[in-house]
Structure formats: C-alpha cells, structure tokens
C-alpha cells in the first residue's frame, strides 16, 4: 500500500511521538528516529512496518538540523557525558537519506561517546559501512533471524531479502571497519528455533562483539497492532531466559544481557509536560502514524507532539484547532482523544 511521506515541519517539537524524533526514557541513552519507513515486511514486525503494513497511514522524515538541535538540548539537560545516541526507528534507519551526516553530526555533540544503530541490514553496502565507520558509528545491532535463505525470506516477508549478502556484510563490518557488531536475531518460537544455534555459531566465527557482547537474541512479542505470524505464541520470559542460559553454557558466550553491559544507567528524564486527564486545545499539524490518528501540538505553547487517536483525519485536517484529553504520557510520548 502506498503511504504519504510527511516531512515534519520546521519548528515542530521533536519529542512526543513514538514514530519520529527523539525519545528519552530516563537513562543516558537517547533514541533517535529520523525516519519511519522500512522496505521489509517481517512477519513478526512489532511496528507493522514496510510495504505490507495494514495499520500505518503515513511515514515521517525529520530534517537533520532541527533533529540535532533538539538532541543537543536533551544532552545538555541530561549532562554532557557518556551519552549514547541510539538510532533505532520504527522502520529501518538506513531509509534516512542523510544517515551518514546524522552519524557525523551526533558524533560531534559534546558528551556523546556511543552511536549505535538497529537494522536488519537490507540497505547496507560496503561503501556505506566505510562512510559510517569514518563518521563515528560505534555499533550496529544487526538482526539476522535465520541463516537459511528461504526461511530468512519467509521471516522478512518478501522475496528479495538476501541473508547471505547480509552475512557477507556482517563479516565486512568486523574485518574492515571500526564499527562493533552485535548480532540481534528475533527468536520467533516454532519458526526459527533451529536457526538460533547456527546464528550464535556464526557470530562467534566472524568475531562479532569486540567492545560489547556479540549476541543479543530478542524475544518475539505479540503486539496488538504489530504483525503476528499465525499460530505462534510468545514465549514466557522464564522459558526464554532458561534457554539463553543453556546456550550460554553450550557456546561459552554471554546471552543474557543487562543494561549495564552497554553502560546504560539512569539519568534525569525530561519533564512531563501534560498530565493524564489534562484537557487542552491543540492544533493539528499532520497525519498520525496509524489510521484514525492525527498529530498535534498545544495551541499556544507547542512543546511536545501529541498523537490524537479516535479521529477521522479527513475531518480534522492540518490547522484544525480541537480540544483533547491526554490519556497517556509515559516517557513523554503523548496520546490524547477528542473531548468536548
Ligand atoms: S522488523 Fe524491522 S526490518 Fe522487519 S519490517 Fe519491522 S522494522 Fe522493518
């Protein structure tokens, strides 16, 4: 399905949305989301990304300069030391046309000592990896969910994904760049169980993880508006960790990761600007990420993006002024619904 790409307007706040901008969860890690699109359509995707998305109605692009300015403000607030900029996005970060410039600009921000990125790698190539290394990228969390090419395509939800090429690039990262590599498969029970030991062996064989652990197996979770493979049940955390422990013993490689393995620690969180239950007037500025949503800002003092749910975007076009009630504000990500 074709979706509209929405260029986030200059001057809009860049905190408040899950789909773009910056997210602060009260640690020294700041999530950086410059774009939302993904070319893949993984069958387990928690964010329902890619061409086969059923729930998304818009994709976002954020200009580099305002993104960096807002990022610097947050770093100053949190303390200009040991900050990790984690480019994770609700799609693939390499869809951002200025990804190398972004890494370069983040690396020049006072206090940033780690820049990491999360991807399945479909848009990587050797030249881009060289440029990212040069620009100061510290780590790639690369999700390889199966080494078997056919199964990998099935998991990717398309016919063109070439896991052997991604494996070649994984080797390239280790052998030819200064970027650290963490292999981060998503374990989807009953679908890729037998691939996990193979992926662990592969990560060990190529020498992933010099500065950080080589592996970070991720647990599949069923999300309401994510994609859910039929008949797959999410594992219990207890079962998941028990199996990771067995693999730790079998392969002699750390599998159970803690925030401290990545130097992540608590830091002051940005102030919450709107409380749950608060009613306010907002100005619509664009389409919401998902169907039935628009994004808006407080009419007089736009400090955060507010996603208004339960609306027909055609009935509330940009510049509409409407009254809403905040229904969620966790981590400064705001949801609201129309109210009289
Ligand atoms: S899991 Fe990642 S790579 Fe796959 S569709 Fe979702 S965002 Fe894209």
> For the residues of 268-327, what is the DSSP string, one character each?
PPPPP-S-TT-EEEEEEEEE-SBTTEEEEEESSS--S-EEEES--TTTS-TT-EEEEEEE
d(CA 162, CA 121): 10
d(CA 124, CA 338): 42
pLDDT surpasses 80 at 168: yes
Cα angle: 21, vertex 78, 16; to 5 degrees = 25
The phi and psi torsions of 48 (rounded to 5 degrees) equal 50, 45
Angle between helices 195-206 and 237-251 (to 10 degrees): 50
**Which atom of ligand 1 is closest in space to residue 90's alpha carbon?**
7
What are the domain boundaries of the chain?
4-262, 279-338
Residue 317: the pLDDT is 96
Indicate the top mutation candidate among 1, 59, 120 to test ligand 1's pocket, ranked by most ligand atoms within 8 A of CB.
120
pLDDT tier for residue 104 given thresholds of 50, 70 and 90: very high
Looking up tokens 């709107």 gives 274
pLDDT surpasses 70 at 233: yes
CATH assignment, 279-338: 2.40.50
Strand 180-183 versus strand 139-142 pairing type: parallel
pLDDT surpasses 80 at 156: yes
Q: Where are the alpha helices (DSSP H) in the chain?
A: 64-78, 99-107, 126-135, 149-156, 163-176, 195-206, 237-251
Same fold? 4-262, 279-338: no
Distance 90 CA to ligand 1 centre (A): 8
pLDDT tier for residue 127 given thresholds of 50, 70 and 90: very high
What residues contact 200, with CB distance under 8 A and at least 6 apart? 215, 247, 251, 253, 255
Distance 294 CA to ligand 1 centre (A): 23
Distance 61 CA to ligand 1 centre (A): 17
Q: Is 120 in the pocket of ligand 1 (CB under 6 A)?
A: yes
Residue 203: the pLDDT is 98
Pick from 65, 64, 76: which is nearest to 112 by CA? 76
As a whole number of Å, the CA-based R_g of the chain is 20
**Which atom of ligand 1 is closest in space to residue 186's alpha carbon?**
1
Residue 4: the pLDDT is 85
Distance 234 CA to ligand 1 centre (A): 18
Mean pLDDT over each residue of the chain, to the nearest integer: 97
Q: Is 122 in the pocket of ligand 1 (CB under 6 A)?
A: no
pLDDT surpasses 80 at 15: yes
Distance 40 CA to ligand 1 centre (A): 6
Contact 25, 269 (CB under 8 A): yes
Residue 3: the pLDDT is 83
Regarding the domain with residue range 4-262, which homologous superfamily does it belong to in the CATH classification?
Aldolase class I (3.20.20.70)
Count H helices and E strands in the chain, helices first. 7, 15
Structure tokens given for 298 = 């407080």
For the chain, first and last CA: distance in Å?
34
Look at ligand 1, atom 4, and give the residue with the nearest C-alpha: 42
Q: Is 47 in the pocket of ligand 1 (CB under 6 A)?
A: yes
Residue 194: the pLDDT is 97
pLDDT tier for residue 1 given thresholds of 50, 70 and 90: low
Residue 268: the pLDDT is 97
Residue 224: the pLDDT is 87
Distance 39 CA to ligand 1 centre (A): 8
pTM across the whole model:
0.96
Q: What is the pLDDT of residues 112-126, one digit of tens each?
A: 999 999 999 999 999
Per cent of the chain over pLDDT 70 is 99
């Amino acid at each position: 399905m074709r979706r509209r790409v929405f260029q986030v307007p200059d001057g809009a706040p860049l905190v408040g949305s899950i789909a773009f901008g910056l997210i602060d969860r009260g640690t020294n890690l700041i999530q950086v989301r410059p774009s939302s699109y993904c070319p893949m359509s993984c069958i387990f995707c928690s964010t329902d990304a890619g061409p086969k998305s059923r729930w998304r109605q818009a994709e976002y692009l954020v200009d580099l300069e305002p993104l960096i300015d807002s990022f610097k403000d947050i770093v100053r607030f949190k303390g200009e030391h040991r900050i990790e900029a984690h480019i994770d996005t609700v799609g693939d970060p390499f869809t951002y046309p200025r990804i190398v410039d972004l890494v370069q600009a983040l690396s020049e921000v006072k206090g940033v000592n780690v820049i990491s990125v999360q991807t399945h790698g479909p848009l990587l190539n050797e030249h881009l990896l060289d440029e990212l290394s040069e620009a100061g990228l510290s780590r790639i969390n690369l999700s390889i969910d199966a080494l078997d090419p056919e199964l990998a395509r099935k998991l990717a939800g398309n016919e063109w994904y070439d896991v052997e090429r991604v494996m070649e690039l994984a080797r390239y990262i280790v052998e030819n760049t200064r970027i650290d590599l963490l292999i981060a498969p998503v374990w989807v029970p009953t679908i890729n169980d037998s691939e996990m030991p193979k992926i662990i062996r592969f990560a060990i064989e190529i020498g992933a993880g010099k500065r950080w652990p080589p592996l970070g197996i991720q647990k599949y979770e069923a999300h309401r508006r994510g994609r859910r493979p039929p008949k797959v049940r999410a594992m219990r955390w207890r079962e998941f960790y028990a199996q990771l422990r067995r693999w730790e013993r079998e392969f002699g490689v750390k599998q159970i990761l803690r925030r401290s393995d990545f130097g992540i620690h608590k830091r002051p969180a940005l102030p919450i600007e709107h409380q749950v239950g608060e009613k306010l007037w907002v100005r619509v500025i664009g389409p919401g990420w998902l169907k039935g949503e628009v994004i808006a800002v407080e009419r007089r003092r736009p400090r955060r993006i507010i996603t208004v749910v339960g609306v027909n975007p055609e009935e509330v076009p940009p510049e509409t002024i409407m009254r809403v009630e905040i229904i969620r504000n966790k981590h400064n990500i705001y949801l609201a619904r129309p109210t009289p």
